[in-house]
Structure 1
């Protein structure tokens, strides 16, 4: 897998795709940044708009509550008078309610929770109301909701103003407002993004809600208490309500420290930023444009560069395997430069075929000529051998005949070498093992009439050499085999034997070893006088090969080893120096 990924990463297709992606990435990032800035600006506009909308919507609520506070404070100022008159206040308070037509109750509740002076229900004990205990524990102006008022028997909003006598809390004046929505209608502002409005007091209790009391808790900000929102003045923020909807919230004080209005509006990022463009589209659009740009650029490169390049490669492979030039298949999208490249390659392939044909012709002519040379040399040497044979038949001297026989043998050995080169040579390369096997067999065969019972063992490793090495190697081996057959001996209790072994030591060196048994000489020619010519010839042949010769003699064996270098065929000089 890793190798496949590494290979893929090195392809032109992969690198162009990565390059195009990196090149176009800044454009996509700029688009995303601009979109994000647009969304932030839309959020700020939505927040500012919602603060103003909430303030406008709560204007009526504010007026009612402030009026109730004014009425409660006026009544609180009259409490000493009512106290002196024996709490004769039901009629004036009832008249007050009829004139205002906005309140359902007005009265004074003592610190013990008894309705001391009121528009109705005077003398009633309301000490169980939560508001009574809160005013007694912390007497201050406050607004509270009573879901089931003991006098009006309905839900009301109570505005309470404390009354003090000689600095000691004595009770509070309460003015009740019927619990109904008093917000201005805002649904016409944006039907797609409805505004939800509610009021709450300093204790975090919801007083009114324009959406009613059903699931009113679900429309409050999730994870934030209403009490935490009352100490920062007018504010707006983005969050989710407890139903999980993303909303823009705004908090506007109606009566500082007492009553607040909370408005929420559908989040700008969930709604339309501009007409016809929603936020999802605005974010996905630059990403889609980036992907589309990369895709179009990659498709164009694929059609105009990658595919024509692969077609050209396929034509090259076809030419390499079949030595045939396939016609080009241009597409309409193939650029002119690539067409010219294919035409140039076609002309180059034609030139290569033409040059190869000429080269093959030259090699063929050279091979024919070389074989003809070897053939003529072989014929001439055979002619010389025939002349020597004629001389041998006419002479009566045994020594002269034997000398001429030795010369004839050497001439025939050289002739056999050229015959083998004529038969086996290919482009100046000779299989030394095949050549030596033939020459050695022929040399041993020429002694079979005079020397009988010799056991011959031959072993040849495959070695390829130049003709410049093959000729002296073969002639030296022939001389050594001739000498071995001439002086082969019969060890005590054994038969005579001869071993010829060609070994490849390594890629650069080889050796040939000729060993024969010693003892009673079996050849009748061994006793004749020698001129030491064979030894001189062997040393000369070894020098031509840049080789080394070693002789080893024991009681029953005599061996000669020639170590020689194997020339590399790409070397300028086919014969390299060899260190023993």
Structure 2
């Protein structure tokens, strides 16, 4: 989890990403305002559509309203005439036929409280039986418009306007009815595509429909239990029983009795208009476009030059690449000033480094000259000692002079190597010890006989503070070894010198020489002991452990010491 957060932060920590986040937050209110405004435009479009739907509904229902109102008026007029003519069925029937001259009506008649029709435009009296509609009329006799999906005379669906008939004492005698064929109203065509026009009674029952009544039932809105469709607002939107979101307009044709309901699918409002279908998409695209433009401008005028300045700094830090003013000519003034300050700083650093390098070069030349002169002086002293040694007749004096001569030559070799090591503050001990060993062995072999020499030097670099005492230690150890070297009869003396690296930054130098079989260890009383004292002193100077042993006709000297960390050249 920590690694994931670290990677996320490393991505967010970039200048370009931070600028993008700031710009996104800055432009976010504009996007929200645009979305709200777009939603408002869509709401206005839907509101206009609702008004248009209500208007179209009122326009489309006019003819139907006129016919039904005429049927109601005719039923009312007949309700006043029927009580007088019921005693003369022929006269009553003729009256019904006279009132039915309008081709919009299919039936006119009177039915009593038992569903018996004694007077009508039918050929003879008949009874249609007790129905639910008749039972409701008897319970609450009032003018009403009803639908009969199977009229007793025509067998077709009709809408009939019914009006109660009372006698002189106010008792209910029956009802007059004027029927309008359902197909007469259903053939009306509305100009609006995908629109549906229905008429409903006060119970919300479909009276007329452009299609079948079963299909009309699917178009009605889904309402909560107990809700009355006739109590809905004039215009509203909801999901129909067919699962399609629709826009509805409800207009009362006869208040409390007859209603006109029109509907069309909700997506009709935005059909063909991509903007209205996706009101939030356009502001979001505008926000993204503004964000891209702002990010591009920030990259063009800021980020690009900041990255270029960063690369110039990295190039100067790694390879001392020089930056010019022309590289930032197109940058804004503020960034040009930063670049100018950086260029001035690099010029100052380059000048100071050149002075330091010149000073170091002079110091290196002087130091090399010192080592060269010291080496020459030591070689001069060694030459004088050689001349003095040749003139001496005492063997002891010559041995003493030879020992001093070897020590002086060893020092001269060290200074020669320091002189030849140009520009470095440390010495490669494998090359340095190899030179000292061969020089000492060459001088010893010229005096006596050849020596079988074996060397093995690890590539270890030491500071002069350790290289000098180690070189002198090896010189003294070899001088001591050559002093007591011997061999089995018929073979050459052997000498082995090695330098190995040990764990924990330690090193070990070993000098081993062969001795004559059954030879005793060096007699301290017969020797001066100066070489051992010097080796002990050099060992302490190196903070090492000095060890000597004689075993299997071999005399071995060990020195184990810590290797100091190399110091930079000043």
User: Given the alignment, which residue of 281, 300, 308 partners 1:303?
Assistant: 300
1:33 maps onto 2:55 in alignment: no
In 2, the alpha carbon distance for the partners of 1:222 and 1:559 equals 116
Deviations 1:209-251 (A, max 9, x none): 5xx4499948964873899874451334324679998642123
Is 1:420 the counterpart of 2:417 in the alignment?
Answer: yes
3-state SS, counterpart of residue 390 of structure 2? helix
Q: Where do residues 76-95 of structure 1 align in structure 2 (5 Å cutoff)? A: 83-86=86-89, 88-95=91-98
Q: 1:283 & 1:91 partners in 2: Cα distance? A: 69
Q: Which residue of 1 aligns with 2:207?
A: 207
- Aligned partners of 1:513 and 1:562 also within 8 Å: yes
1:137-286 to 2 correspondences below 5 Å:
143=145, 156-160=158-162, 173-179=176-182, 180-181=184-185, 196-201=196-201, 206-209=206-209, 212-213=210-211, 217=215, 221=219, 224=222, 230-231=228-229, 233-235=231-233, 236-239=235-238, 247-255=246-254, 259-264=258-263, 267=266, 270-271=269-270, 279-280=276-277, 283-286=280-283
- Superposed, which structure 2 residues align to 1:402-441 within 5 Å? 402-441=399-438
Q: Which moved more, 1:426-435 or 1:199-208?
A: 199-208
**Gap change, CA 1:169 and 1:442, over 3 Å in 2:** farther
SS at the partner of 1:567? coil
Structure 1 residue 306, shift from structure 2 partner: 2.0
Structure 1 range deviating more: 64-73 or 138-147: 138-147
Pairwise CA distance, 1:143: 4.5
Cα distance per residue 1:359-396 (max 9 Å; x no partner): 33222222222211111111101111111112112221
Aligned residues of 1:221 and 1:239 also touching (Cα < 8 A): no
Q: 1:177 to 1:86 in 2, by over 3 A?
A: closer
* Cα distance between partner residues in 1 of 2:358 and 2:258: 111
Partner residue of 2:537?
A: 540
Given the superposition, is the C-alpha separation of residues 323 and 226 from structure 1 closer, same or farther in structure 2, using an over 3 Å criterion? closer
State whether residues 202 and 227 of structure 1, in contact with CA within 8 Å, keep that contact through their aligned partners in structure 2: no
Number of equivalenced pairs: 557
The more displaced of 196-205 and 3-12 is: 3-12
SS at match of 1:500: strand
Distance 1:223 1:155, change over 3 A: closer
- Match of 2:444, SS state, is coil
Q: Is the 8 A contact 2:45 2:269 kept in 1?
A: no
Q: Is the 8 A contact 2:406 2:475 kept in 1?
A: no
Residues in 2 aligned to 1:517 and 1:223: alpha-carbon distance in whole angstroms? 119
CA distance in 1, matches of 2:298, 2:518: 87
Aligned residue among 15, 36, 51 for 1:12: 15
- Secondary structure of the equivalent of 1:262? strand
Contact 1:457–1:498 (Cα < 8 Å) also in 2: yes
* Unpaired runs of at least 5, structure 2: none
How many angstroms apart in 1 are the aligned matches of 2:371 and 2:146? 130
Q: Where does structure 1 lack aligned partners over 5 or more consecutive residues?
A: 575-580
- The alpha-carbon distance between structure 1 residues 552 and 352, as it changes in their structure 2 partners (threshold 3 A), is same
CA contact (8 A) 2:199 2:260 kept: yes
Identify the match of residue 503 of structure 1 among 500, 508, 511. 500
Deviations 1:117-150 (A, max 9, x none): 21343346777xxxx7554676678655567867
Instruction: Report Cα offsets for 1:396-448 as digits up to 9, x if no partner.
Output: 11111111111111111111111122123532121122211221222222222
Q: Distance in 2 between matches of 1:90 and 1:222?
A: 40
Q: Which has the higher helix share?
A: 2
Q: 1:40: Cα distance to partner?
A: 4.1
What SS does the aligned partner of 1:106 have?
strand
Equivalents in 2 of 1:32, 1:219: separation in Å?
Answer: 37
Q: Using a 3 Å threshold, how does the CA distance of structure 1 residues 463 and 567 change in structure 2: closer, same or farther?
A: same
**Is the 2:544–2:560 contact (alpha carbons within 8 Å) kept by the matching residues of 1?**
yes
Distance 1:315 1:278, change over 3 A: closer
Contact 2:206-2:217 at 8 Å conserved across structures: no
Which shows bigger deviation, 155-164 or 15-24?
Answer: 155-164
Counterpart CA distance in 2 for 1:457 and 1:40 is: 103
**Alpha-carbon deviation of 1:539?**
2.2
Change (3 A) 1:308 1:139: same
**Is the 8 Å Cα contact of residues 270 and 278 (structure 1) preserved in structure 2?**
no
Deviates more, 1:386-395 or 1:510-519: 510-519
Give the aligned partner of residue 360 of structure 2: 363
Distance 1:530 1:34 in 2: 112
Label 1:201 to 1:486 Cα distance change in 2 as closer, same or farther (>3 A): farther
Q: After alignment, is 490-499 or 507-516 more displaced?
A: 490-499
**1:578 maps to which residue?**
none
- Correspondences of 1:498-537 after superposition (within 5 Å): 498-506=495-503, 508-520=505-517, 529-537=526-534
Instruction: Say which of 100, 109, 113 aligns to 1:107.
Output: 109
**Partners of 1:88 and 1:513 in 2: how far apart?**
155
Displacement of 1:90 after TM fit? 0.8
Asked if the contact 1:57/1:183 (under 8 Å) is kept, the reply is no
Structure 2 counterpart of 1:577: none
CA distance in 2, matches of 1:381, 1:230: 126
Q: SS at 2:231's partner residue?
A: coil
Name the CA distance, whole Å, in 2 between partners of 1:351 and 1:373: 33
1:351 and 2:348 matched? yes
Change (3 A) 1:244 1:59: same
Counterpart-to-counterpart distance in 2, 1:451 and 1:173: 162
Change (3 A) 1:505 1:125: same
- 1:291 deviation in Å? 1.8
Q: After superposing the two structures, state which structure 1 stretch, 116-125 or 359-368, moved more.
A: 116-125
